[in-house]
Every structure is written in C-alpha cells, then in structure tokens.
Amino acid sequence: MRRFACVIALAALPAALAPAQTIPDQTKTIGTQMPDVAFTADDDSTFHLSALWGKPVIVSPIFTSCPHTCSMITESLRDALRAIGEPGVGYEVLTISFDPADDTAAMRAYRERLTLPRGWRLVTASASDLATFLGAMDFNVTALEGGGFAHPNLVVVLGPDLRIASYVHGVMYETDDVRAALEDASNRASLVTRFRPVILLVVALGLVAVGWTLYATRRREREA
C-alpha cells in the first residue's frame, strides 16, 4: 500500500523531473566489480571503496539540494534500517552526492537535517572518480536547465566483495526488502571471492617458495 501511494505521489512531481530517469541495465551490471575510487567523507577524512571490503554496502546516490525524492529516499532508508542494525557494524551505507556543488559542509548539513547515525557514510568524490563510480552502476544523471538533476530513484546493494548484487528501486523502502537484499548480497559473495586478496597472497608466496626451491636445488647440483 505504501508503494502504491508512493507511485501516486511521484506522478504529481513537476514534469521537469521526467527526462533522463534512465533505469540501469541490470543485465550488464549485476556482478560488476566496483572501481576502487577515493571518497571524501563529511568529516573531511578520505578513504577508498576497498576500505569497505568484507561487508555488504548500500550505495545511495543523491544531491543534497534535491527538492523532492532524494530526501525521501534517505529518510525511508534510514527508517527501514533501524530494525536491521547500526550502519558500519554488519553492513555499510554509502550516500554519495553527484552534485559538484556539494562539499563536505553540505554533506554534514544533510546528515544533521536527516538525523543520520554516525556509522552512515556521506561522501563526495572528484569528477573523474564520480563518473567512474556511477558509470559502473549505470547510474545516469542529467543536469536540468532550471537547476537540479534528473536521476533514477534507487539504491544499489554491493556484496562484501564490492560487486553489484542488486538494485532496490523506488523512494520508499521496507525493512524486509532491504534485509533480504543485504542477505542476498552476502550469499552471492563466495568464500573464494571474499578472500581473494588473501588467496592471491598465498599463491604468490607459494610461487616464490617454489622458485627459491628450484634455484637452490640447481645451485647444489652445480656445486656437486
């Protein structure tokens, strides 16, 4: 019923929002490894996406001056997650602005206005990193002549291996739907994929050990 009401509400939004709300092509993006771009958090610290490795991640692209759906998305997601647990513990939430005018101060104000918990990450990125990041999700944004942006209304869920697991569409979210998306994201990430860096290190060390053994054996043979 809430979703049906949401559809009616969206139909009443200004017509200017209609262009370019392109839905991502999930047939091409599901399973995509997200690029390890750099982010600037609202506390002015910096980190790379790889810092979130090991937990499912909800990615929510927004812009802070959005007069319509962005705040609705964030508020609904915030409310849906209250029954799941604190962001940053068993999962991560990454709200990223695609508006070049948004800086760390704007993100801090957005956090305060929407009363987002401390573990909820609000970030910006350089123009090149932002384009790379959104492009990997096929999240298309169009600047409007009168100001603002046309954009899809959705969040993207990454697995603990930082691959795209699913999209949750709309501006209103139910706890059960979000929980299911997080669980599915975790299940999609196999142990091999999740621990790929460790496996690659072990393989590399093994190759070094084999190489050293062969070298030592040949050296002893020559000396003999």
pTM of the model: 0.77
Strand, helix or coil for residue 142: strand
**Mean pLDDT across the chain, nearest whole number?**
85
Which among 203, 137, 170, 146 is positioned nearest to 3, based on CA atoms?
170
pLDDT confidence band for 196 (50 / 70 / 90): low
pLDDT confidence band for 16 (50 / 70 / 90): very low
Q: Domains of the chain: which residue ranges?
A: 2-189, 192-224
- For residue 3 the two structure tokens come to 């979703």
For position 147, what pLDDT does the model report? 87
pLDDT confidence band for 134 (50 / 70 / 90): very high
Say if residue 52's pLDDT is above 90: yes
CATH number of 2-189: 3.40.30.10
Distance, in Å, from the CA atom of 119 to the CA atom of 91, rounded to the nearest integer, reads: 10
Cα–Cα distances in angstroms (integers) from residue 142 to residues 7, 20, 65, in the given order: 22, 6, 15
Say if residue 215's pLDDT is above 70: no
